[in-house]
Amino acid sequence: MLTTLMLTMIMAGPVAQQTDTVVPVPAGARLDVELMRADVTVRTWDRREVRIVSRPGGVDVRATDGTVKVRSGFGRAGGGAMEHVTVEITVPRDMGVGLDGHSLNADLRGMGGEVTVTTLQGRVRLEGGRQHVQLHALQGAIDCAGAEGRIDLETTNGSIMATGIAGDIRAHSLNGQVTLRDVRASTVDAYTLNGGIEYAGTITAGGEYTLETHSGNVTVAIPERVGVTIEASTFGGAFESDFPVTLQKSESGGRTVSLSLGDGKARMKLTSFGGTIRLRRP
């Protein structure tokens, strides 16, 4: 817990002035960044310090109550366009990080703590992240690699690509492809309205996997020696399967097929209104 002795305040002057600040932080401290328009890069190191470099203009950095806060150096009084800044931040590996903005391009690597990124526009790339990862954009692609824990990826207009992640995963897009590869998850909730879903990963006993799209295809690579019960429904689309399936029921124009592999202990539900559902051998 930071004490007031460690309080550091740096005010960016009215003149465009670079920021290059180092703030010592104890274990358990958090980084909290709020910028209107920025390209933010976050990297990690072994020091118990946070370094913030910003150009062309400065940013406001404060450390209070266990949190290092980074805010725009302009327009705090309201009104006026925000200058776009490029910010590079280096943090201790296990530090929790939160980025929030209007137009943020965020690029975080080597993260060993919790990560939250929220932006209206912009591309989000994360490598790492532990326990809780939340990447939300309104417009922009989300790229998440190597995260572990509760993972929540959401964009309205953009694709989601998640590789090498583990845990409980939620990946929702409205207009964009959702790709989950090399995934080790016990709960997967993947959704897109206009776009396809691709899943290649483990299917663990007792796990629940829901992949749903309106107009795209759903493609699942089924690993060897897996135990899963699959229910796949499409209204206007088709099925393709490398495995024998049973037609469970067919209502007008819609069909559901089911199959069970191994002990059937995991549950997978695949739905597409108009697209094709494919079950592939790996």
Partner 1 sequence: MTDHWTDRLSEYVDGDLSPNERRALEAHLSGCPTCAGVVADLRAVVATASELTDRDPAVDLWPGIAAQLPSAPGVTSLSRRQRLHQRRVTFSVPQLAAAGLALVLVSSGLLWAALRDRGGDVSPVELPAMTVAAAAADPATAYGAAIADLEALLAQHRESLDTATVRVLEESLTIIDRAIAEAQAALAEDPANRYLNGHLTTTMQRKLTLLQQAVSLTTVAS
Partner 2 sequence: MSLSRDAVAGGDLGDARLAAAGDHAAFERLYRGHVARIHSLACRMLGPEDADEATQEIFIRVWEKLGSFRGDAAFGTWLHRLAINHLLGGRASRGRDRERMRQDSVALETAGARNRDTALTMDFEAAIARLPRGAREVFVLHDVEGFKHHEIAQLLGVTEGTSKAQLHRARMSLRRHLER
Only one residue has tokens 């417009």, namely: 139
Q: Single out the residue of 11, 240, 254, 274 in contact with partner 2 (rule: CB under 8 A).
A: 240
Nearest one of 177, 134, 144 to 158, comparing CA atoms:
177
Identity of the residue, 2 or 222, whose beta carbon is nearer to partner 2 in the bound complex:
222
Question: Distance of alpha carbon 162 from its chain centroid, rounded?
Answer: 8
Contact letters for partner 1, residues 29-58 (x by CB under 8 A):
-----x-x----------------------
Structure tokens at 20: 């290059």
Q: Single out the residue of 11, 13, 243, 274 in contact with partner 2 (rule: CB under 8 A).
A: 243
Strands (E), 73-222: 85-92, 96-111, 115-121, 124-128, 130-139, 142-145, 148-157, 160-163, 166-175, 178-192, 197-201, 208-213, 218-221
Asked if 274 touches partner 2 (CB under 8 A), the answer is no
DSSP 8-class letter at 4:
G
Asked if 260 touches partner 2 (CB under 8 A), the answer is yes
Asked if 62 touches partner 1 (CB under 8 A), the answer is no
- Smallest gap from residue 9 Cβ to partner 1 (A): 16
Judged by beta carbon distances under 5 to 8 A according to partner kind, the member of partner 1, partner 2, none in contact with residue 72 is partner 1
Plot region of 240 (φ>0 → left; ψ -120 to 50 → alpha; else → beta) = beta
Asked if 257 touches partner 2 (CB under 8 A), the answer is yes
Q: Which residues bind partner 1 (CB under 8 A)?
A: 34, 36, 71-72, 75-80, 82, 102-103, 120-121, 138-139, 156-157, 174-175, 193-194, 212, 214-215, 233, 235-236, 249-254, 256, 271, 273-274
